[in-house]
Amino acid sequence: MSDTEIIYNFINVAVPNDHPAVYQYVIGKKRSKETAVNNIVKITDGVLSPPYSIGHIRTVAKRFLKEKEEQYIKGEIIVNPIY
């Protein structure tokens, strides 16, 4: 299993479809998308951060959120509002 797959699998388990970061990325504007990525990086801090670089985690988090956005557009997932 590659480093990217390990990070992706961790994020996939830690961030469900109803997580506020997914809502921010899918529904929000540009700043919200950056905040969503930062929130996921905060979740992984201390768990994945020492062996993997923050830049690598950010890249995988962006890919994860883009896939969630595509699933939302296709109607495969439902994203609930934060409030």
Is the pLDDT at 59 greater than 90? The verdict is: yes
Mapped onto helix, strand or coil, the DSSP state of residue 18 is coil
Pair 48, 5: CB distance under 8 Å: no
Tens of pLDDT along 18-46?
999 999 999 988 899 999 999 999 999 88
Look at 49 and 33; give whichever has higher pLDDT: 33
pTM comes to 0.90
The pLDDT value recorded for residue 22 is: 94
Dihedral sign, Cα of residue 53, residue 59, residue 62, residue 64: negative
